[in-house]
Structures are given as C-alpha cells and as structure tokens.
Amino acid sequence: MRHAVKTRMHAKPDLDRIRRSMELVARFAPDRPAGVTVRSAGLAGVPVEWNAPSGLVTDRRILYLHGGGFVSGSPRTHRGIAGRIARGAAARVAVIDYRLAPEHPFPAGLDDAAAAYRALLDRGVSPRRLAIVGDSAGGNLVFALLLKLKAEGVAMPAAAVAMSPFVDMTGSGESLRANAALDPLLHVEGLPAVIGAYAPHCDPKNPLLSPLFGDLGGLPACLIQCGSDEILRDDAVRMQRALQASGVPAELEVWSEMPHVWQAFARIIPEARTALDRICRFLRERLPDEDAAQRAA
C-alpha cells in the first residue's frame, strides 16, 4: 500500500496514476467471493452491479457506495467487499458506478447515489429492509446522502455503515497530523488536491461535503469502523460523537493498527474478516428479512 498508493498521493497527485493504483490494490481482494453471483443492471440510469448470495431469496437490500477519493474506484474494484457483505448479511448489494471527479465534480456522485436510492424505493423496496454502506469517500457519501434524503423528506433506510469515512473536508482532525507517518495508505498532502478535484470552489463546511457539520438528528442507526493508525481516525471518532449527541444510535469500533479500509483485504488480513463479520451481524439485526420469516412459517 505504501508503494502502490501512498507514494502517489503527494501534493499534486496524478489522477490517472491514482486510478491505476486503485485497480492494483484491488487485486489483493478476490473479484467475486465463492457463493456470490454478480450481474450488471441500472437504477435510474446509474450503472449498478448487483452482488447476491447464490440461490438465496431475500428481501434485504443494501446500497453500497464505494471509496476511491471521489476520483477512482468502481463496482469492479469493490466486488470482494460487496460480495462478502452480500453473503454474510444475506442481502442483495447494489454497488453503484457513480460519476467520478474531476470530470463530474460535486454534487454529481451524490446525485447519482440519491437517484439510485429513490429508484429502489420506487421498485417497492421497503426502507425497513434497506441499508446504505460505504467506505472512505463512499462513507462520506453515506452520510451526505442521509442528510440529503432527510432534507427532501424521503424515507430513511433502516441502518447505515461507514468504514473509515471521510467526513470533514476542513482538515481539522488531529489524527491528520498525529498519524501522518503511521498511515500506510493515505498521504495528508494529497487530500487538498482530491478535495479540489471533487468540490472546486466549494465551502468545505457544507454538510453535503463535510457531514460532520450537518444536522444529524433523525438519521438511522449507524455502525462506524476505522483503524487506529489512519489519518482519518478522528473523522470517524468525531462523527460517532456527533451522531450520539444528536440522539442517533451510533456504534464506533476503532481497530488497533489497522490501515484505511482494511476490510477490503479480507483474503489476507484476519482482522478484515472479523470486521466484516461484525458489519454483517449489525446489518442482519437491523434489517428484518420477511421473506425468510414467511418461508419459516
């Protein structure tokens, strides 16, 4: 990770190199875990990859928002983590191929996420059996989407999960400095360029860019995971505190010596498998599966 990604995240990163690095890092995760089927589709014109447990009928749905600094990543790079969540949570997981910056700056990616979410509701998916999950920049989009849905009066999902979320674009987290050398993946000096690509000339305190500063009351139950050594650790810590202060049930897990979005490396890191098991248990508890109940009856 230090060689393939962090060395490319300097003050003036080459976005093409970052995108190639994301593809390189994704090779450490299996494209499709055993027992999972993948098919391409669309939601309100947004390309989607559905990951589903093979042979399982379930009405649980998860909208997955992938990471990649808003400038990279795709459903393909996240098949491993999405497939493991689909299998472990007994749910169908839709990974959307939202538009990337700088070609499509804010709010393009957020608008795609909102369109896909509304399309799921329009297709009859119950919000009680729907969750939003994301990692890194996708974790930002998880909370930004929830704030957008709240402002527009759209029914909230039953739960949300964010892995190493990037929720403060003002750069006020102490871990940005304290963990600058420890973090094996993210480079502090590269963040301004990524933010500039995604949200040029925007106020970084806009809650749809920095959800940490939003009105979080009324959001669904959340689970947040982060690593102790990553520069975004304090984003996760402060987000959980802000959610709790707003009356939102929010759990935080800070995993010792884990890097940014270590869950993606479940094939080689035991702690990644354990963390994903925890996420899947949280999702199963929060999303009742009525089809399974009816079959049991």
pLDDT at 225: 98
pLDDT at 227: 97
Q: Is 21 a catalytic residue?
A: no
What average pLDDT score do residues 143-166 get? 98
Q: Is 49 a catalytic residue?
A: no
- Catalytic pick among 21, 66, 175, 230: 230
pLDDT at 5: 59
Percent of the residues in the chain that have a pLDDT greater than 70, as a whole number: 89
* Per-residue pLDDT at 189 exceeds 60: yes
Question: How far from chain centre, in Å, is Cα 223?
Answer: 11
Q: Is 260 a catalytic residue?
A: yes
pLDDT at 261: 94
> At 297, is the pLDDT very low, low, confident or very high (cuts 50, 70, 90)?
very low
**Cβ atoms 186, 161 nearer than 8 A:** no
Q: Tokens 């995604």 appear where? A: 198
* Per-residue pLDDT at 128 exceeds 90: yes
Cα separation values, 20 from 15, 169, 271, Å:
9, 24, 26
Torsion over CA of 70, 72, 77 and 79, rounded to 10 degrees? 30
- Catalytic pick among 66, 78, 187, 260: 260
Tens digit of each residue's pLDDT (9 = 90 or more) over 103-113: 999 999 999 99
Structure token pair of residue 54? 């093979």
Tens digit of each residue's pLDDT (9 = 90 or more) over 210-266: 999 999 999 999 999 999 999 999 999 999 999 999 999 999 999 999 999 999 989
Tens digit of each residue's pLDDT (9 = 90 or more) over 190-226: 888 889 999 999 999 999 999 999 999 999 999 999 9
* Per-residue pLDDT at 293 exceeds 50: no
Report how far residue 169's alpha carbon sits from residue 90's, in angstroms, rounded to the nearest whole number. Answer: 34
Q: Is the peptide bond before 288 cis (omega within 30 degrees of 0)?
A: no
What average pLDDT score do residues 6-22 get? 64
- Catalytic pick among 21, 72, 136, 210: 136
What average pLDDT score do residues 29-48 get? 90
Tens digit of each residue's pLDDT (9 = 90 or more) over 81-103: 999 999 999 999 999 999 999 99
| 182 contact partners, CB below 8 Å, separation of at least 6 | 229, 230
Give 223: exposed, middle or buried? Use CB within 10 Å, 0-12, 13-18, 19+.
Answer: buried
pLDDT at 76: 92
Residue (of 221, 220, 217) closest to 247 by Cα position: 217
